[in-house]
């Protein structure tokens, strides 16, 4: 079964709305989670690294005030797209790795993604 | 900086045949992990196979095998006995370091279409 749960799976809303996406690790405590954005038929673009109990680390070119990340607990990270506009429409996907894996061959576990459509 | 290159935007294969998806990488780190993921049209990312930089044997997982050539910095995915359900986008990814907590870099992906 899924070890990372992401909700909602699909959002359609009006321009100017803020949208919150949740990413939960189900079977382990994730001190670090990652948020990606993906355009159709394109690669995953890392937006930010979500760190439990501290500020997120954003990749170059990603607006911190636009994409708010909160990692308030060891099992939950949220991404809020503030004042969303049509250009924010995309597929957003989160991932987490189990830090207690015995070695580095543990893959990232991905949520099922959120399709965001801003009208 | 890490870089993953997948030079095949799209590939076609006949059902039941084998196919190789190319991946080359660039890193200055000695410790790293290489991963392949499958992404069907529904969007979820499915982990397929892993190869560590110190692994001497090529990784295998069922019909998936990884042709790891460290000196050439390549980590090609081989899918044997292709099935219609293998049609999807495939991503090669690299994570530097020895822990599970590091971020990964993804290639641009290869869209595989299996023909009946």
3-class DSSP assignment, residue A109: strand
| DSSP assignment of A47-79 | EEEEETTS--EEPTT--TTTEEEEEEETTEEEE
**pLDDT at residue number A104:** 60
B45 with A93: Cβ contact below 8 A: yes
Q: Quick one: average pLDDT of B30-57? A: 93
Residue numbers in B near A30 (CB within 8 A) = none
Q: Quick one: closest CA in B to A43, which residue? A: B108
3-class DSSP assignment, residue A88: helix
Q: Distance between CA atoms of B10 and B109, rounded to whole angstroms?
A: 9
Phi-psi sector, B87: left (phi>0), alpha (psi -120 to 50), beta = beta
Neighbours of B13 (CB within 10 A): 18
Question: Within 13 Å and on the Cβ side, how many CA atoms surround B74?
Answer: 12
Q: How confident is the model at residue B101 (pLDDT cuts 50, 70, 90)?
A: confident
**Distance of residue A26 Cα from the nearest chain B Cα, in angstroms:** 16
The residue with greater pLDDT, B16 or B103, is B16
Nearest to B113 by CA among B19, B6, B5: B19
**Do the Cβ atoms of A9 and A113 come closer than 8 Å?**
yes
| Chain A with chain B: Cβ pairs closer than 8 A | 67
3-class DSSP assignment, residue B78: strand
The residue with greater pLDDT, B83 or A98, is B83
> Which of B43, B45, B100 faces A101 most closely, judged by CB atoms?
B100
**pLDDT at residue number A98:** 73
- The answer to whether A62 faces chain B, any CB pair under 8 Å, is no
- The answer to whether A92 faces chain B, any CB pair under 8 Å, is no
> Which of A43, A105, A113 faces B106 most closely, judged by CB atoms?
A43
Q: Distance between CA atoms of A84 and A36, rounded to whole angstroms?
A: 17
Q: Distance between CA atoms of B113 and A13, rounded to whole angstroms?
A: 34
Task: Answer whether the bond into residue A8 is a cis peptide, omega within 30°.
Answer: yes
pLDDT of A102 strictly over 60 = no
> Which of A98, A108, A115 faces B104 most closely, judged by CB atoms?
A108
Q: Distance between CA atoms of A106 and A98, rounded to whole angstroms?
A: 7
> Which of B42, B47, B98 faces A107 most closely, judged by CB atoms?
B47
**pLDDT at residue number A76:** 94
**pLDDT at residue number B97:** 75
**pLDDT at residue number A72:** 83
Mean pLDDT of chain B: 94
Q: Among the listed ranges A17-21, A26-30, A60-64, B6-10, which one has the minimum average pLDDT value?
A: A26-30
**pLDDT at residue number A1:** 65
B106 with A95: Cβ contact below 8 A: no
């Amino acid at each position: 079964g899924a070890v990372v749960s992401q909700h909602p799976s699909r959002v359609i809303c009006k321009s100017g709305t803020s949208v919150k996406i949740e990413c939960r690790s189900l079977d382990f405590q994730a001190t670090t989670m990652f948020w990606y954005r993906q355009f159709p038929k394109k690669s995953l673009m890392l937006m930010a690294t979500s760190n439990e109990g501290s500020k997120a680390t954003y990749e170059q070119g990603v607006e911190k005030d636009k994409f708010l990340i909160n990692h308030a607990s060891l099992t939950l990270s949220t991404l809020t797209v503030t004042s969303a506009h049509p250009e924010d429409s995309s597929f957003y996907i989160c991932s987490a790795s189990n830090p207690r894996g015995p070695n580095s061959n543990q893959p990232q576990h991905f949520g099922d993604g959120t399709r965001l459509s801003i009208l | 900086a890490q870089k993953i290159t997948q030079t095949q935007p799209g590939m076609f294969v006949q059902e039941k045949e084998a196919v190789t998806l190319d991946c080359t990488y660039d890193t200055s780190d000695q410790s790293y992990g290489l991963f392949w993921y499958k992404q069907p049209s529904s969007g979820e990312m499915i982990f397929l196979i892993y190869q560590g930089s110190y692994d001497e044997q090529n990784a295998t997982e069922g019909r998936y095998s990884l042709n790891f050539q460290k000196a050439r910095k390549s980590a090609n995915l081989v899918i044997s006995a292709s099935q219609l359900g293998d049609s999807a986008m495939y991503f090669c990814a690299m994570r530097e370091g020895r822990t599970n907590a590091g971020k990964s870099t993804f290639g641009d992906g290869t869209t595989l279409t299996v023909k009946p």
